[in-house]
Structure 1
Amino acid sequence: MSILSGKNILVGISAGIAAYKSAHLVRGFIKAGANVKVVMTPASKDFITSLTLSTLSKNPVLSSFVNEKDGGKNDNPMWNNHVELGLWADYFVIAPATANTLSKMATGECDNLLLATYLSAKCQVFVAPAMDLDMYKHPSVITALEKLASYNNIIIPATLGELASGLVGEGRMAEPEDIVTFLETYVLKQLPLYGKKVLITAGPTYEAIDPVRFIGNHSSGKMGFEIAKAAANLGAEVMLITGPSAETVNHSSIKRIDVVSAEQMYDAVHQYFNTTDIAILSAAVADYKPKIYASQKIKKQVATLSLELEKTKDILKSLGAIKTHQFLVGFALETENELENSKLKLKSKNLNLIVLNSLNDDGAGFGVSTNKVTFITENNETIQFNKKPKAEVAIDLLQQVLKQLHA
């Protein structure tokens, strides 16, 4: 999943031969999960049809102030509201932006729907120039681009290549896939966790008794997966280390590593911890494992079976002992003396924050989509929340992490 997923992107098309690339641009934004609408200058329809763009965007394409179906000839013409269109967009990408359109944008001239929408837009505007090389280097175009940049528009530079005139030089519109990447990078850089590496553990661990049986627990991994998604959506590069779980994740900023046992999770966590900025250990790691693993299935021959267990490695404590710059978050699932036990765990394992959830609370803990948590900070501050979906708990958690980091 792209960081553009769910964003509203308005694509503006002006009248240049590069308009044929706009179909690929719209398709690229749709594939990234964005909602796309298209506004065209009337002359741009000589280069690409609105039918193509409406089919790809799954929205009507607008190019005039009055709905073209009635042409304004009946008593109740439909007005294409440029103000609403500008307010709808999270990002406005004008590609191609011809010399004519650039000049009008720079001077505030407003003689078509695209320009009216540009002047009404409250969102960030991106401009991808496209023209012949002599036009691109002309002082009037350079001045227009400089003025637009001074208005806080972001210019996506034209590239070097073969132009419609047959000449080779600057002026070629950036390729659609590069424009999509440009926007993704821009959005990421605005997010509070951009540039941060976040390590998250999730799910249970299974400690083998024999090739068939294991010791485990009821953790689904849902909480950890929701934290991973929320962290990625805030711009982080996420390493998700998970025990056996049916949960899935599809995000370009999340790398998933599957493990089974506590030993495997310990090794994977320590492999990445040194380069981690924030570590959130939400996995329900088994505290004990069989001391002896039976290489063959144990036969059911007697009425009782005794297993000798030994402690697994304490992953959270081992990280607390070696952390330097890392912000370390642990989880505590308690059934009695909840606050006291959680505070002891916070101190003994050298954590910055601990998340307490209780099996005594209805709708919290394993196997459900909700949780009811309490945060306890390293300064002994206690913050209680009502029951809410785990996706919302994940957002609350990351906001608390950011609050403590910036304190």
Structure 2
Amino acid sequence: MTTLLLIIIYLAFISLGLPDSLLGAAWPVMQSDYEVPLETAGFLFMTIAGGTIISSLVSGKVLKRFGTGKVTFVSVLMTASALLGFHFAPSVVWLIISAIPLGLGAGAVDAGLNDYVATNYKAHHMSWLHSFWGVGAALGPIIMAQFILEDNSWRDGYFVISGIQFALVIILLFTLPLWNRVKKNRNITINEESEDLIDVINDEETKDVKPLQIKGVNLALFSFLFYCGVEATVGLWGSSFLVNVKGLSAATAAGWVSFYYAGITIGRFITGFITFKTTNRTLIRYGQIIALIGAIILFLPLPSIFSLVGFIIVGLGLAPIFPCMLHETPTRFGKKHSQTIMGYQMAIAYTGTTFIPPILGFIASQSTIGIFPICIVIFVAAMLLSSEKINSILRNKVY
């Protein structure tokens, strides 16, 4: 029963990833069909992410009232309907209207499933959970590229993804009773590797202060901001960069971006095993260094094939960072403030997703999409520096 529900949760996270990469992959063709400026994709993306922020902020109360199973069912139903709306949208206005439930549904699923897995399953399942998001994010551009290549029809790509989502809705409907049964039968698992450090960090220095006054919290928020900014920016503008700067076809560009998401997927699957042997802190550091190397490859004036290599390396580097930073929260700042700080981190993460890609799109429309790799290098470097500063603060506390 427990294993069956875990499989369903993984499937739900695949469905969460599927729509995330579709807009960026399809936009070069959609832009032509609707005859709108490049930065329109940024506004659509902002609408989706804005809905995600709103639903994640209220998800705590909604989850307590209705339960994770029901919220996940309704949320996936919303995203499936929204994707169907993209398929039929006669104008950009209808795309914006469809983007609202797409964002609202995604935020509730994300917050609910992360909390459920953290509470009811072992810690390494978090990395694997996020790897299944990558499965969906990688499949999205592959499916879209196939329809663009054959019929130049991005609408059919959205229709197929919507059908997959509706299939999951049916599965969730018939498995609703499982959620409460598993929750009642399982004990909460605590991440044993963090236990000693938690006791050190959660000392008198942080006992009576507000969460945002704890040393390192602002730097952690900074890291989440730029992590999600990088992840979303590469997904949204990667295809446009390859088409307009590297001269690739829209179908080929969409396929190459799917390798970026494949890098995230494979990396997170491997990370789930590596967590048994090393610390979150080490995985975060080396992930950021690898992502920086990939970004530099994209920046250098190399043949087009190296862009594919760069996308894959960036994806592999980003893979462990987000789930490991989530797991590291109680270790860094103590269990007392962990839940509150976790909420701040998710809000800031979605803020990065919401605003950084559209800002880059606006700047690119006034200049050139060629600034894309430069911005990725800057964002990854900023994330690395803030993360290392947190490590320095923690070393001073412990020693």
TM-score (norm 1): 0.21
Larger CA Rg, structure 1 vs 2:
1
Higher helix fraction (1 or 2): 2
TM-score (norm 2): 0.21
Considering Cα pairs closer than 8 Å and 6+ residues apart, tell me whether 1 or 2 has the greater RCO.
Answer: 2
Higher strand fraction (1 or 2): 1
